[in-house]
Structure 1
Amino acid sequence: MERAEKRELVATLNVQFKLNGSVVVAKYAGLTVANMTALRGKVRAAGGTVKVAKNRLAKLALVGTELEHMAHLFKGPTVILSSKDPVAASKVATDFAKTNDKFVILGGGLGKQALDVNGVKALAELPSLDELRAKIVGIINQPASKLASVVAAPGGALARVIKARADKEQAA
């Protein structure tokens, strides 16, 4: 890799570290190409990115970002999973680690907050932004549907009273 390419990679990683909500660092030694392709596909589907970079370049890219505290995680063959959604990268990494024992989560970062392995797993258990948005929409829609049923209830009750009265008169 030439110097210009290295500078470009460091600049790209630096922007990625600044813009993304969460970053997960993991060891990937021993994974097959098919496994890495599957991981990349899952992360991309969740709205994130996967990067494999030399540790020295990744540490340089961390300088000046809120994630600078993660520099100690870059030892050996590491892969960087990142996403704008604070939960997506953690969810994909945790799920992938369950099925691939050679994929080992080292830690990560959520803004200025450093995450160890347990922190990444705890973050993965939280609902994603889309799930939270769906819950909020459901909560907002719930009063409207209850209001509609309350408004319709007196009409229905009146209809049942009239029908009961008619049935009573027919029986008599």
Structure 2
Amino acid sequence: MTDLPAHHFRYLRPFIEWDVLRTARRTAARKRYTISSATLDRSKIRSAIQFLSWIEQQQTDLASITQAHVDIWLTTGPPTRQRARAFLRWTTARKITTPLTIAHQSPALPTRFLDEEGHIDQLRRCLTDSAMPTEARIAGALVRLYAMPLTRVVELTADRVHHHTATPSSPSARTRCSYRPASPR
């Protein structure tokens, strides 16, 4: 960021400090700030930088841009151009720009699905393939058995998993494992 023009810092620094970092700190206080969250925040900052650079190439300034400028940038800008939404929302809230919007882009719905046999094959591999790392086998089994989102699997810690061994006198002396969800904060 050291090679950016000084006039970009006039907008970037407050945006980063009062929007991106403030939200990140608030999220971290609730213990939900993940690596993905940090990646998304960096992407928002990069997108704001790219947008400011593009505005400069258009020989205009941030205060003078219109929705038409934003729409042109959306159609010709980088693939992450949607992430500038946070920056534009911030500039609009501070009356730096006129109200500008970037419409939410709906994620594409999945089109390829595994059949039941494919799911069973993957689960069988998670349960029996000793060549796979144990962590990958556990994560894969949780996803296949319970459709548990990977973001929840990543947060799973040993203190939230409890092992129960049946008494030797019971008909089946199996080991049972239960999952205790994190308590809401």
TM-score using structure 2 length: 0.27
Indicate the structure (1 or 2) with the bigger Cα radius of gyration.
1
Higher relative contact order (CA 8 A, sep 6+): 1
Higher strand share: 1
So what's the TM-score if we normalise by structure 1? Answer: 0.29
